[in-house]
Amino acid sequence: MADSPSRTNPLTKVKRAPKWERVVLKISGEALASETSDVVDAKVLERIALEVADARETLGVEIAIVVGGGNIWRGTSGTHIGLDRATSDHMGMLATTMNSLALQNAIERAGQPTRVQTAIQMAELAEPYIRRRAIRHLEKGRVVILAAGMGSPYFTTDTAAALRAAEIGASAVLKGTHSGIDGIYSADPKLEPNATLYEEVGYMDVISKGLAVMDMTAITFCQDNHIEILVFDVSAVGNVVRAMAGERLGTLVR
């Protein structure tokens, strides 16, 4: 679509500074679904798309998005029915591409130009992932959706988000969770009612205490490459913009 479309986003536009100039927003596949929907809930998709467009417009933050595929297929779904892991992971990467295309369509309906780049070539659908080209799109104000994870089996989209953040020079991975998980707790809050939410926590604490809310490979990669991680609830209205503006929410890992 054209790069200066008419905007339809109804959210209030108050300009302010972003916390980070360039970020990777990681959205779990399941965050696009709901209890009443099939794989993607139209209202959820539209809301997230509007918030991404709003963050671009009001904060000027450069946004790359990595979407998961867990609402459609995970590597483990196939191994449970006898598929080999690599094949099943390829199916998972195709699932992330389906979500990426849905998200692209919704974000462009919100008036924000986008590009999808895939880590597995699908020339009829999208551009291949080319690091310098992704950066150029970001500089031009486009939202870049990075599909098909890293293109390699045995990995997750959390790790893909961390890798891409390092490659494109993003300062943070914003890990959007769902199902009532709004950050990292001292223990599982569903099992331990006294568990407390960390406002900020070190990478090593997350690893040594096993505070699993994100893939450990992704966390160590972010630590090595000085990329901050914000774990926040992407299913709560307004949180995409709040997270990118640096409002106090979720847990910051650094």
Residues of this chain that interact with ligand UDP (CB under 6 A) are 28-30, 68-70, 74-75, 89, 92-93, 95-96, 149-150, 152-153, 155-158, 160
Least separation, in Å, of the C-beta of 156 and ligand UDP?
Answer: 4
The pair of three-digit structure tokens given for residue 38, joined into one six-digit string: 């099939």
Least separation, in Å, of the C-beta of 213 and ligand UDP?
Answer: 12
Residues in CB range of 162: below 8 A, 6 or more apart: 24, 173, 217, 218, 219, 221, 222, 225, 227
Nearer to ligand UDP by Cβ, of 129 and 155: the residue is 155
| Residues 240, 59 contacting (CB under 8 angstroms) | no
Phi, psi of 97 (to 5 degrees): -70, -40
Least separation, in Å, of the C-beta of 169 and ligand UDP?
Answer: 20
Nearer to ligand UDP by Cβ, of 57 and 89: the residue is 89
Alpha carbons 202 and 18: distance in angstroms, whole number: 22
Nearer to ligand UDP by Cβ, of 93 and 145: the residue is 93
Least separation, in Å, of the C-beta of 224 and ligand UDP?
Answer: 18
- Alpha-helix residue ranges (DSSP H) falling in 38-156: 42-59, 75-79, 85-109, 131-139
Nearer to ligand UDP by Cβ, of 75 and 111: the residue is 75
Closest CA to 241 of 32, 55, 42: 55
Nearer to ligand UDP by Cβ, of 179 and 196: the residue is 179
Least separation, in Å, of the C-beta of 178 and ligand UDP?
Answer: 10
